[in-house]
Amino acid sequence: MIEIIPAIDIIEGKCVRLSQGDYSQKKIYNEHPLEVAKQFEDYGITRLHMVDLDGAKSNRIINYKILEQVATHTQLIIDFGGGLKSDKDLEIAFNSGAHMITGGSIAVKNPDIFSSWILLYGANKIILGADVKDEKIAVSGWQESTSLSLFDFLQNYTAKGITKTICTDISKDGMMQGPSIELYKRMKQEFPQLYVIASGGVSNMQDIIDLQKAGIDAVITGKAIYEGAITLQELSRFILQ
C-alpha cells in the first residue's frame, strides 16, 4: 500500500500553496495550519510533510513554532524541510517535534554538512530532497537550476547511506496535471532499495492509484486536497482498504 503524505506549506505562519515554486503565485488556504493537520489526522492520516517556505527563502528555520504546535497537538509523524542549513537549524527542528527532516539545497551546496547529518542522526531521520527540472537538480526553493543529474545525485547519496528521497518534478508541482510516473519508475528500477516519495502533479485519486501500481512507496499531495479534487473521505477509504 502506498503511503499517503499530505503537505502543509507555511508562509508567515499560514497554510499556503505555490505553483511551480513561484512565491508570487501564492494562495492562502488556511490561517491556522494546526486546524488543517488535525483534519488530516481525523481522517486516519498518520504522516505529514511540512515545508517552511519562509525558511527556504531565508536559509534558516523560521516557522518552527508552527511545527511545535502541530507536533504537540497531533500524533502525526512529521517530516520538516525548508531552509535547514546548519546544525542549529536541525537541532531546532528536532526539538520542535520533527520526526525527520528533508534536506535538498544543502545536500547540493554543502554535501559535507548534509553527509554529517546522515551519520549523526541516521538515515531514518534524514530524507534527501531531490527537486528536479528536466531531470536536473534545482535548489534554493527552486529558484536556481544546476547541471547535476538526478541519477548521479541519488547514486552519490545512496552510497552515503540515504534510504529515503522526496522527488519533486518542479514542472508538475501545483499544476494538477498528473505526476511524473515514468521518472519515478526509473528511479525504483535503478535504486530498488530506495524509498521513493513522489511529489508534484497529483490531481485525483487515480494518480495515487497509478503511482501505487507503478510500485512507488509514498506520495505527497497538497493542492489537490486543498482545491477539493481529492477529498479526505476518499483518502480515508483508500488508506483503510
**Residues annotated as catalytic (active site), given as ranges:** 9, 131
The C-alpha cell 488508506 sits at 239
Q: How far is Cα 170 from Cα 179, in angstroms, rounded to an integer?
A: 10
**Rg for the chain (alpha carbons), in Å?**
16
Cα angle at 58 between 56 and 62, to 5 degrees?
A: 80
Which helix H or strand E contains 63, and what residues bound it?
none
DSSP state of 42: H
Residues 6+ apart with CB under 8 A from 235: 4, 6, 43, 44, 45, 205, 225
CB 87 within 8 Å of CB 119: no
Chain length of the chain: 241
Q: How far is Cα 160 from Cα 154, in angstroms, rounded to an integer?
A: 10
